[in-house]
Homo-oligomer: A and B are copies of this chain.
Amino acid sequence: MSKILTEVLSANQGYASTFDKGHLPLPPARGFAILTCMDARLDPAKYAGLSEGDAHVTRNAGGRASDDAIRSLVISHKLLGTQEWFVIHHTDCGMELFTNDIMADLLGQSLDTATIDASGWHDVGKGPGSADGKYINWLTIKNQEQSVVEDVLRIRNHSLVPKYIPIYGFIYDVKTGKLVEVPDAMKAGSPL
């Protein structure tokens, strides 16, 4: 068993040993959902003050409003009753460090982890790579404020999203732990 697997299962044993949340109902008690980035430095439960049972948390690379994120949000409202949604990107996001072309080129060389330095990305893997990286939109980010506005707008304008749901747009600052409002996103996400 790997070190990581052992550690995770040991931590889980500790959590389960004092677990007292077995009674919680399925629908989120506080009736809201957060879409945010998978970044390891982000703990949405901590930065937004969530206890188990409070809110849905959807995460992907960038916290982007992908079709899959929208699938999750529509289920969250339609079947499980959430009435307010947050889109939260963050400073120093990995999605700002590459482009679709860079990712396709790197994967074309090898599937192994690449390295980055001041001159850019370098593939150091042994290969073989795969051309399939060209067929994926990696949803990279040029500007965080702009990506939050874009994603809030995409959700706002989706045909399966009710016009009355407020969608809030924020950037989480990884240096300070603060949620910083994106005014244009708040405007874009206002109920219609």
Contact = CB atoms under 8 A, between A and B. Distances in A.
**Count of identical protomers in the assembly:** 2
A56 interface: yes
A39 B34 CA distance: 11
Interface in A51-103: 52-61, 66-69, 71-72, 74-81, 83-84, 86, 92, 94-95, 97-98, 103
- Tier of interface size on chain A: 35 or more
A118 interface: no
Interface in A1-38: 2, 4-5, 7-16, 19, 21-22, 24, 26-33, 38
A60 B52 contact: no
Contacts of A28: 40
Nearest to A27: B40
A59 B24 CA distance: 20
A83 to B, nearest CB: 8
A97 B33 CA distance: 19
A117 interface: no
